Chain A
Amino acid sequence: MRDGPWSRVWHGLGQRRGAMAALGLLGLIVAASLAAPFYAAWVGVDPFVSNVAGTTLRHGQVVDLMQPNDNPLHLGLTPLGPDWRIGEAYGLGSDAQGRDVAARVLYGGRNSLLISAAAAILCMMTATAIGLCAGYFGGWVDIVLSRMLDVLWAIPVYLLAISLSIVTVGHGLRLGPVTIGADNLLIPVIIIALVYIPYAARPLRARALSLSRAEFVMVSRGLGASHWRILTREILPNLADTLVVLAPLLMALCLLAESSLSFLSLGVQAPAASWGTIIQDGEGLLYTRPAVAILPGLMIVATVLSLNVLGDALRDTLDPKRRGRS
């Protein structure tokens, strides 16, 4: 299997320094997010409990988490700012509720990455099924499915996601016998997957359409293969490269959508964190403690950028004709 498709992908990626750097950065972010509980235990903070009256040690001195304000009237309190010592409690400062920002950003990464990856996978599975059926069967199946996608696509993506979130987040979702709790992470996953189905299904449908007219499919049909066999054994494997290229790009889009929903308090619900909710927390502190809003944003940018670089590199590797084109 030395010249199999996967080894070709690996080899192609290995030759691109940008792609390897992106893969490394992505691995680092995932590992750091997975290590969130260890970090919290190590520095001794609980990032899910409000700790407004708390204190912490800094440079050997006990300081309040809520500092007197530096405005002339000393009205209100400002959370402790960062001193940039990672690995100490409150090294990146505290948020408005006295919670450790560094630990929350790490925990937030878990939810952001989990939701966007799950949404991307769910979206691709559904889109593949729709694209396969529409492209292969054609006729009225294609018309019905394509019109449904048109309807979904004609509503601005974020507007649709926000609408669906408002009626489900905080109320729960009942699908027949299955009930999904109000703060279950599956709700944002399903919503984000749903809104991007047209985006993913269109190229897959086009590919399935051209494949279903290919000679090897005709031969297979002539030999008496069933629809199911043709779909799963002949056409699906040939969609693999389209899917591989789509996966990181779709996950990048899902991550941006997730952070937007959470930013509008419509995704991950408090006290749980995602990068978007932390930016929302930091909005009120923007002019006094900007780090709270900026740090999770930087994490989003780093992750989405890595995913996009990876997607580009995969496309160039799998489709040499397009090399250097985009």
Chain B
Amino acid sequence: MLRMLAARLGQMVFVLFGISVLVFGVFFATPGADPTARIAGRGASPEVMARVRSAYGFDRPLPVQYARMMEKLFVSRDLTSFVDHGAPVVPEVMAAAPVTLSLVLWASLFWVVFSLAIGIVSAVLRDSWVDRFFMGIGLLGLSMPVFWLGEVVNLVTQSRFHDTWLFSWVPPLGYVPFSESPLGWARALLLPALTLSVAFIGLYARVLRAELLAAMGEDAIRTARAKGAGPARVWLWHGLRLSWLSYVSLFGMDFAQLVGGGALLTEVVFALPGVGRLTYQGLNTLDLPLIMATVMYAAVFVVLANAVIDGVYALLDPRIAEGRHGR
């Protein structure tokens, strides 16, 4: 068990290392992305360029630059931006994180509740018109670009029907911190979170329905039925227990990716100052320290989620921990 944990930890560190090298390499090895010219400004004289280069250490070998950046990011935590007058990067990410976290928490609440309800109802009423309707709607939700859906939502709630009773409560685009006004916080996040969750509701409802129907064919269900369990107990207790493994692992991955900045498009469309939008700003100015900080922050979440999922798997299904389950 301890050896497995150590191997797992080593693997996590390796993935994080790989990502940091990848991001660093992409931005330093790409022609046209030289940070010196960006910092010095357009048409700077060669002397200024040379000064910037030595001040920022761009004349050092790449591995040294990489090591210094990692040290500043993880050890001394005083990595500064290349563009924004040398503003420290870590506090910026920390300020954006609660926005993204709130958005994703709301969205995941919606998508878990709705997808559970739709998935179970569709599985129980398999092949009825209700099932077909829900699965069709789910597929439609999966097929919509989230930024476009967000714009349509904005059009309806901010402009066309804003003055009707239905949407007069919708606040202008932007974020309200929870500490300022809990109600305002909830109101500002409701529509963005719903928009973000639409595709996930569709996907998760479909996955859950498929897994439930597959579980119904297993011996455990037949045994439960034979022992006299009612339909509610069969579906909700035995069925869900057999089928929630893939649901949980899917959820862990998606949640981590969104918290790590995957909700970028939603944040951009709804003007929420979250991690995704921060990364996007950093990318637009090719601000490598900021990009490095946000991407590493995202990667930590994803890698942790992976580890947690594997742990949950091992808890739920001891066959995996013993390596007997073919993966």
Instruction: Assess the B295–A163 pair: CB atoms within 8 A.
Output: yes
Q: How many residues of A contact B (CB 8 A)?
A: 49
Chain B CB within 8 A of A121 CB: no
**A167 closest partner in B (C-beta):** B30
Chain A CB within 8 A of B19 CB: yes
Instruction: Assess the B265–A324 pair: CB atoms within 8 A.
Output: no
| Closest CB in chain A relative to B149 CB, distance in Å | 8
Instruction: Assess the B295–A159 pair: CB atoms within 8 A.
Output: yes
Interface class of chain A by DSSP: helix
| Closest CB in chain B relative to A196 CB, distance in Å | 14
CB < 8 Å A-B pair total: 150
- Please measure, in the bound complex, the distance between the C-alpha atom of A25 and the C-alpha atom of B22, giving whole angstroms: 41
Q: Do A159 and B22 contact each other (CB < 8 Å), given the known contacts A166-B284, A290-B155?
A: no
Instruction: Assess the B26–A163 pair: CB atoms within 8 A.
Output: yes
- Residues on A with C-beta less than 8 A from B276 are 159
Instruction: Assess the B280–A326 pair: CB atoms within 8 A.
Output: no
**B291 closest partner in A (C-beta):** A163
- Residues on B with C-beta less than 8 A from A168 are 30
Instruction: Assess the A279–B126 pair: CB atoms within 8 A.
Output: no
Chain B CB within 8 A of A148 CB: yes
Further contacts, 19 of them, CB under 8 A, given A157-B262, A326-B206:
A147-B14, A155-B19, A155-B23, A156-B257, A156-B298, A163-B291, A252-B143, A259-B148, A260-B147, A263-B145, A279-B145, A286-B151, A290-B155, A294-B155, A297-B144, A301-B143, A304-B145, A305-B143, A326-B209
A-B contact pairs, 14 of them (CB 8 A): A155-B22, A155-B298, A155-B299, A156-B258, A158-B265, A162-B280, A163-B283, A171-B32, A287-B155, A301-B148, A304-B143, A324-B213, A325-B209, A326-B209
Could you list which residues of chain B lie within 8 angstroms of chain A, going by C-beta atoms?
A: 11, 14-16, 18-19, 22-23, 26-27, 30-33, 126-127, 139-140, 142-145, 147-148, 151-152, 154-155, 158-159, 206-207, 209-210, 213-214, 257-258, 260-262, 264-265, 268, 276, 279-280, 283-284, 286, 291, 295, 298-299, 302-303, 306
Could you list which residues of chain A lie within 8 angstroms of chain B, going by C-beta atoms?
A: 147-148, 150-159, 162-164, 166-168, 170-172, 174, 252, 256, 259-260, 263-264, 276, 279, 282-283, 286-287, 290, 293-294, 297, 300-301, 304-305, 308-309, 312, 322, 324-326
